[in-house]
């Protein structure tokens, strides 16, 4: 009966994960953020070098002057990268047979975003400077706007394209010129929609769609999504899905990543400006201090096996999974032990994330560890190093190691219990074999 229930639940969860995993809008968001990753990584490395612990203020200023606007150019223009990415990838998902027009869709999405973005900045003295693009609106603050605008723009563009509202050119016209002319009507109509939206918002108290979205959607959602309890729930759900063999990150992250990425960018902007960092929970926080990342979860389980397990099979899995675990790859351990559909080993696996996240959260809250700076750190970076880079402090690495030790201690009794179960099963099989003889 229990197995039947597990199978039914697993089937339903797999079905739900499949729906999330095939959602073209979430897939486009994922791909758009991944498009920006190499660019932000460049700026992240420069930012880490510029603010390396131990450097004097003079050395930091000198490095900053030497690098010029390299950091800002790659890290504080996220909304621009994401806009192009959504326009490009969403178009491809919607029109897989018309790939040649995807780049035009990305360009139209970007221009649509610029149309609804104010080209003015209010100075400290209250004077309004026009003819400039506020970097805040093409960075973290504009991220929700660029997502909505790019999705709507691409949808309109694709719809009009499928209605064949294009200028047909003679066959002897070169393809590049023909494609440009075919996009004129599509681009004109799509951009006109956002021009009208911008005009309408100019006549409201908000003055722009950016202010409206930020105040009524982005700010509340980021506040809710980065709260302690929301973070614990999201992290626990990732682990819960993994128990049934469903890749938990592929289910939860497409929903939460936008919020966590916005929090990361807001921290990064504040860090770059020398201001207090607003958020404890960011994308980097979730990647560096959650059990779902291999070092905290899989590597701690393997370490516990090396310490207490006498089962040959478990020790062999530990040998095979240890090196991947150092680089945060959990699959060999999850499927090898297995943790998947194993109710005993699932307990520390599911409870682990709330524990390690709580340790990191309250260590940050009381000032033991600084907040993550928003600097992009590859999730494959080993334990200790990743925490240090993410917080620009050795205490980030120390808190990671504390979480790792706690996880090893949590795994030990369950590894011992699984060993006891294994030995009892082995004795039982041996006795049954003797009785048959």
Max mean pLDDT range (197-201, 312-316, 431-435): 197-201
The pLDDT tens digits of the residues spanning 90-105 come to: 999 998 887 878 888 9
What are the E-state strand segments in 364-437? Answer: none
- pLDDT tens digits, one per residue of 118-166: 988 877 777 778 888 888 888 878 888 999 999 999 999 988 888 876 6
Mean pLDDT of the chain: 84
pLDDT given for residue 75 in this prediction: 73
Q: How far apart are CA 260 and CA 267, in angstroms?
A: 11
Q: Which of 74-78, 104-108, 173-177, 348-352 has the lowest mean pLDDT?
A: 173-177
pLDDT > 60? residue 70: yes
Mean per-residue pLDDT, 268-294: 86
Tell whether pTM > 0.85: no
The SS3 call for residue 201 is: helix
pLDDT tens column, 223-252: 888 999 999 999 998 888 888 777 777 778
Instruction: Report phi then psi at 129, rounded to 5.
Output: -95, 120
Residues 6+ apart with CB under 8 A from 42: 70, 74
pLDDT, greater one: 163 or 5 = 163
Distances (CA, A) of 144 to 53, 80, 193: 34, 12, 18
Q: Averaged over 170-180, what is the pLDDT? A: 65
**What phi-psi label fits residue 130: left (phi over 0), alpha (psi between -120 and 50 degrees) or beta?**
beta
pLDDT reported for residue 99: 80
Which pLDDT band holds residue 295 (cuts at 50, 70, 90)? low
pLDDT for 292: 64
**Least confidently predicted of 191-205, 290-304, 324-338, 384-398:** 290-304
- For 23-33, letters b (16+ CB in 10 Å) and e give eebbbbbbbbb
Question: How does residue 19 score in pLDDT terms, banded at 50, 70 and 90?
Answer: confident
pLDDT in tens, 38-61: 887 787 777 777 776 666 677 777
Is residue 1 pLDDT above 50, yes or no?
A: no
Mean pLDDT of 204-231: 89
Mean pLDDT, residues 73-81 taken together: 82
Per the model's pLDDT, the better-predicted residue between 77 and 155 turns out to be 155
pLDDT at 333: 84
Q: Extract the tokens encoding 208.
A: 């722009």
DSSP assignment of 60-85: HHHHHHHHTTHHHHHHS-HHHHHHHH
* In the predicted structure, residue 30 carries a pLDDT above the cut 70: yes
Q: What is the mean pLDDT of residues 64-72?
A: 75
* Residue 294 confidence (pLDDT) above 70: no
Question: For the chain, how long is the longest CA-to-CA vector?
Answer: 97
Which helix H or strand E contains 121, and what residues bound it? strand 120-122
User: Of the ranges 109-123, 328-342, 382-396, which one carries the lowest mean pLDDT score?
Assistant: 328-342
pLDDT reported for residue 84: 94
What per-residue confidence (pLDDT) applies to 34? 84
If one compares 394 and 428, the residue with the highest pLDDT of the two is: 394
Name the residue with higher pLDDT: 278 or 74: 278
Supply the pLDDT for residue 65.
75
Q: Is 50 exceeded by the pLDDT of residue 318?
A: yes
Instruction: Give dist(CA 1, CA 245) in Å, integer.
Output: 20
Contact of 237 with 345, CB cutoff 8 Å = no
């Amino acid at each position: 009966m229990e197995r039947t229930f597990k199978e039914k639940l697993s089937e339903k969860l797999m079905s739900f994960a499949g729906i999330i995993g095939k959602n073209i809008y979430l897939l486009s968001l994922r791909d758009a953020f991944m498009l920006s990753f190499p660019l932000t990584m460049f700026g992240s490395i420069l930012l880490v070098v510029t603010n390396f612990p131990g450097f004097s203020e003079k050395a930091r200023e000198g490095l900053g002057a030497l690098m010029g606007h390299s950091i800002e150019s790659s890290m504080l223009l996220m909304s621009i990268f994401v806009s192009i990415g959504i326009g490009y990838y969403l178009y491809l998902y919607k029109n897989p047979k018309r790939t040649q027009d995807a780049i035009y869709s990305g360009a139209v999405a970007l221009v649509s975003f610029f149309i609804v973005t104010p080209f003015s900045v209010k100075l400290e003295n209250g004077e309004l400077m026009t003819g400039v693009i506020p970097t805040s609106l093409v960075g973290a603050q504009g991220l929700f706007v660029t997502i909505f605008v790019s999705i709507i723009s691409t949808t309109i563009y694709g719809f009009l394209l499928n209605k064949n509202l294009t200028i047909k050119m003679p066959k002897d016209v070169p393809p590049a010129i023909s494609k440009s002319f075919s996009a004129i009507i599509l681009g004109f109509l799509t951009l006109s929609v956002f021009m009208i939206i911008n005009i309408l918002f100019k006549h409201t108290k908000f003055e722009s769609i950016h202010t409206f979205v930020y105040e009524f959607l982005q700010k509340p959602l980021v506040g809710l999504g980065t709260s302690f309890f929301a973070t614990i729930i999201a992290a626990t759900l990732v682990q819960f899905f993994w128990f049934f063999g469903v890749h938990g990150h592929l289910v939860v992250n497409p929903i939460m990543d936008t919020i966590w990425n916005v929090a990361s960018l807001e921290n990064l902007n504040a860090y770059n400006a020398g201001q207090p960092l607003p958020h404890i929970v960011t994308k980097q926080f979730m990647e560096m201090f959650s059990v779902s990342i291999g070092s905290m979860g899989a590597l701690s389980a393997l370490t516990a096996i090396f310490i207490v397990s006498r089962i040959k099979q478990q020790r062999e899995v530990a040998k095979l999974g240890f090196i991947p675990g150092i680089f945060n790859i959990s699959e060999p351990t999850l499927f090898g032990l297995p943790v998947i559909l194993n109710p005993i080993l699932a307990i520390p696996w599911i409870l682990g994330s709330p524990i390690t996240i709580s340790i990191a959260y309250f260590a940050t809250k009381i000032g033991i560890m600084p907040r993550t700076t928003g600097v992009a750190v590859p999730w494959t970076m080993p334990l200790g190093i990743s925490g240090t880079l993410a917080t620009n402090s050795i205490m980030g690495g120390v808190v990671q190691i504390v979480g790792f030790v706690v996880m090893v201690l949590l795994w030990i009794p369950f590894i011992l219990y699984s060993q006891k179960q294994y030995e009892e099963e082995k004795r039982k099989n041996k006795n049954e074999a003797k009785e048959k003889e």
